[in-house]
Amino acid sequence: MNDSNETYQKLLFLVRSHSFSLILLGAGLAWTVMYIRSVMASTDTADLSQPTDMLYAGLALIFSGILAMPVVLDRIPQSAYRLMLVFGVTAAAYFFFASTNSVLDEEKFQFDQAKINAVTIQRLTDIRDAEVAYKEVKGEFTDSFDTLLAFIGAPLVPLNFSIGSFHDTLPEAQSYEEGFVVKRSDVPGLAAEYGWTEEAMLDSITADALSYKVRDTLYTSFYAENFADEKRVSKKLPPVNLDSLTFSPATGVRFAIDTTYVNQSGLRVSAIKVQDPTPFGKPNVKKDTLRFGSLDEAHTDGNWRQ
């Protein structure tokens, strides 16, 4: 019984005498392993998830833990031991706070990058939509943002205007022959002949209550059909500012735009590429350039997730 109690007391003393050292060693090993795992998980396209300061903090804790072992204490002078222990713990604390700040800085960077990239992608998407509309009207893309902006605001986009339907009693050919197919500009005059308002005449034609049909091509602007505030709200998109549309939100530098012609299925077709020449990122680190289109192929795909 006495032997068991004596063994227990020795074990308890051993644990107590090594507890501080074990705590430091455990924390140091944990931080070092976390850093090594982040190194193993990193790739050429993904940064380390843990800062290097974490490794230094872990090594400093391991050094302090070794110094705190009783077997080490017995072999070095107390003054030297205290100095080295203070140095080790201070270094560990410094690197701990440095790594914490690095993590916070990285989180802020990721937040800022996501925010700026979202604005950049939206601007590039809007430019792409405008360029596609320009090509439909002009037959080719333009490499001038000034020309594109002028197009956006000009009434150049054709819009088919059609109300009233043809039927067996008065088919389409007969309607044209008898003059019942009119243009939109003719409606006010017809309304005056009937003594109606213009709105009442349009409602009657729409309801097929009259023999008249309206077939016309009106012209509107790309801005009115796509960038006007009510259009953006209905599509749950942010408002468009034409003054900043063609500029990088990160630096204020204008997007780079270029056009060419490529062969596609034996045809010579217009191609375009627009990109942000100054993408958001860290200094001295390769940055991802957001862009759409290609000068080698006839497509307008963006290099972001659609």
Looking at every residue in the chain, the average pLDDT score rounds to 81
Length of the chain: 306
**DSSP structure class, residue 250:** T
**Does pTM surpass 0.85?**
no
With pLDDT > 70 as the criterion, what percentage of the chain qualifies?
A: 73
Q: How many domains does the chain have?
A: 2
Residue 30 lies in a domain: yes
pLDDT band at 67 (very low <50, low <70, confident <90, very high): low
Residue 208 lies in a domain: yes
pLDDT in tens, 257-299: 999 999 988 899 999 999 999 988 776 667 779 999 999 999 9
Which tokens belong to 259?
A: 């056009």
pLDDT in tens, 150-167: 999 999 888 888 998 988
pLDDT in tens, 101-145: 665 666 777 888 889 999 999 999 999 999 999 999 999 999 999
Which tokens belong to 191?
A: 């309304």
Q: What domain range is 179 assigned to?
A: 157-220
CA-based nearest residue to 218, from 295, 292, 157, 135: 157
- How many Å apart are CA 100 and CA 88, to the nearest integer? 18
The pLDDT assigned to 160 comes to 85
* 173 lies in the same domain as 98: no
Cα→Cα distances 103→51, 53, 98, Å: 7, 10, 9
Q: Which residue has the tokens 């960077």?
A: 109
Which tokens belong to 234?
A: 């209905």
* 31 lies in the same domain as 107: yes
**DSSP structure class, residue 28:** H
Residue 233 lies in a domain: no
